[in-house]
Amino acid sequence: MKIFVVGGAGYIGSICTEILLDEGHEVAIFDNLTEGHRAAVDARARFIEGDLQDRQSIESALAKSRPDAVMHFAANALVGESMQNPSKYFRNNIANGLNLLDAMLATGVKRIVFSSTCAIFGPPDRVPIDETLPTRPINPYGESKLAFEKVLRWYDEIHDLRFVSLRYFNAAGASGNFGEDETPDGTCIRDYIHIVDLARAHILALDSPKSEFYNLGTGGGSSVREVIECCRQITGRKIDIVEKPRRPGDPPRLIASSEKIKRELGWQPQFQSLDAIIESAWKWHQKFPHGYDD
């Protein structure tokens, strides 16, 4: 298949691109490089520097690439920042997403896999979180993703634009070649999912026979203290702790159920332990100690 990866120079998009190419797909990447890195673009992919704010730019790129499907990773995704600057999140995650959908319709591309978030649920009534729980986001980031999911549902109904929306929390780890320039984050319990397992879920979604929403996770959760202790064990290094108050808009405990995508699409994560996730990230950082500045 020919896949058009929006945000393909970012952490998740770059590794999805790598695996798509390894499996024989043809990939074009569209990215403005504000959050991504040019060095994270796989040399086998065709790179187009552009911005979703520019409807004409995205339409032109789609017309030239003529893809079978779009993977949409481009977004602002920091909960704390969204609580300080909601306008940025609503403009980038909703309005710019609409530019992408309209450009897809104009060029005859009728299939999209959307990178969403379990933050659309807010503090859940129960864990693990399955797809039947009510959506009550408590930050503009989650609200913006939920709004775009609703847009997708209407574009499917009105324009027959087929979508799969994948909702997940903390992507972590690395492939052999690509990883994340990581920064300290949060104090809550989260469901950490290996980036390679996440990428494979996106690829499976390309063949979904229907539009659908799926939650992705391991079904378990780790606190920040547990993550730090695991990092100490894997790296053999002393790691100091700086404790800060919980961020506004951050639910305390979020764990996803993945039973639906396992049942319907056959997704089977291969790296479910925190040790495996952190070990892969550590290997990447040892190989690239300065990240993409190497």
Give the span between the Cα atoms of 139 and 11, in whole angstroms.
22
How far is the C-alpha of 223 from the C-alpha of 187, rounded, in Å? 7
251 CB burial (10 A radius; 0-12, 13-18, 19+): buried
Confidence of residue 54 (pLDDT cuts 50, 70, 90): very high
Query: Rounded to an integer, what distance in angstroms lies between the CA atom of residue 48 and that of residue 61?
Result: 7
DSSP string, 149-177: HHHHHHHHHHH--EEEEEEESEEE---SS
Question: Is 184 a residue whose pLDDT tops 60?
Answer: no
Average confidence (pLDDT) over 47-57: 97
At 241, the pLDDT band (50, 70, 90 cuts) reads confident
Whether the Cβ atoms of residue 277 and residue 172 lie closer than 8 Å to each other: yes
Instruction: Kindly state the average pLDDT of the residues 39-43.
Output: 95
Mean pLDDT of the chain: 89
Region 160-169: what's the mean pLDDT?
Answer: 95
Residue from 141, 168, 192, 214 carrying the catalytic annotation: 141
Q: What is the pLDDT of residue 185?
A: 42
Instruction: Give the pLDDT of residue 222.
Output: 66
Instruction: Note the pLDDT of residue 242.
Output: 81
pLDDT bin (cut points 50, 70, 90) of residue 279 is confident
Here the tokens at position 230 are: 């695991």
CA distance 14 to 292: 12
Residue 256: CB partners within 8 Å, gap ≥ 6? 118, 128, 129, 167, 168, 169, 191, 215, 216, 217, 218, 219
For the cut 50, the answer to whether the pLDDT of residue 250 exceeds it is: yes
Residue 179 and residue 201: Cα distance in Å, rounded?
18
Specify the range with the lowest mean pLDDT, choosing from 181-190, 197-206, 268-277. 181-190
Are 27 and 9 in contact by the 8 Å Cβ rule? The answer is: no
Amino acid 219: pLDDT: 64
Q: pLDDT exceeding 70 applies to what percent of the chain?
A: 90
Q: What is the rounded CA–CA span in Å between residue 123 and residue 133?
A: 10
Distance (Å, whole) CA 128 – CA 153:
24
pLDDT confidence tier of residue 177, bands split at 50, 70 and 90? low
Residue 234: the pLDDT is 80
Give all strands (DSSP E) within the chain, no chain letters.
2-6, 26-31, 46-49, 69-72, 111-117, 162-168, 170-172, 189-190, 192-194, 212-215, 253-254
The yes-or-no answer on residue 89 being catalytic is no
Asked if the model's pLDDT at residue 231 lies above 90, the reply is no
3-state secondary structure of 281: helix
The whole-model pTM stands at: 0.87
- Does residue 121 register a pLDDT over 90? yes
